[in-house]
Amino acid sequence: MATPYSLKTTKMAKYNNIKYKGYDSKREYYRAQELKLLEKKGIISGLQEQIKYELIPSQRDNNGKGKVVERSVCYRADFQYLRDGVLVVEDSKGMRTKEYIIKRKLMLYMYGIKINEV
């Protein structure tokens, strides 16, 4: 007889999102399906998912040759593609955290990329 403690429990997501078919949320999943269809129709091209951008490099001691003192700060975009030859970076947002807002501003400052939120 199984006790309540032996039952498998699911881990709660950080922002109460529910992972869905390999994506971090239903919103992200459905947007991915839309973008794949647009790519099939030739409206967009070069669709990529989960692209990592380094915003601030890691910091090392001893003039850059020692151990890492601070890890790098990165932003991971949900989607990236070309539309009419213009790079589009998208994020499926349910909640804009303070951390995300700072990273969004750093993306604009470092790369000149304005993130589209869907």
User: Is residue 3 included in any domain, yes or no?
Assistant: no
User: Is residue 9 included in any domain, yes or no?
Assistant: no
Q: Tell me the C-alpha distance between 72 and 100, whole Å.
A: 15
How high is the pLDDT of residue 9? 47
- Chain mean pLDDT for the chain: 86
User: Is residue 5 included in any domain, yes or no?
Assistant: no
Question: Residue 44: pLDDT band by 50, 70, 90 thresholds?
Answer: very high
Q: Domain containing 75: what range? A: 17-117
Spatial strand order of the sheet with 86-91 comes to 45-56, 73-83, 86-91, 116-117
User: How large a percentage of the chain has pLDDT more than 90?
Assistant: 59
When mean pLDDT is compared across 61-65, 94-98, 109-113, the lowest value belongs to: 61-65
User: Is residue 7 included in any domain, yes or no?
Assistant: no
User: Is residue 43 included in any domain, yes or no?
Assistant: yes
Please give the structure tokens belonging to residue 115. 């993130």
Average pLDDT in the 59-77 region?
A: 83
User: Is residue 22 included in any domain, yes or no?
Assistant: yes
φ/ψ bin of 32: left (φ > 0), alpha (ψ from -120 to 50), beta (otherwise): alpha
Please give the structure tokens belonging to residue 54. 């380094």
Number of domains in the chain: 1
Q: Tell me the C-alpha distance between 79 and 35, whole Å.
A: 9
How high is the pLDDT of residue 2? 53
Q: What is the pLDDT of residues 5-37, one digit of tens each?
A: 555 445 555 666 777 888 888 899 999 999 999
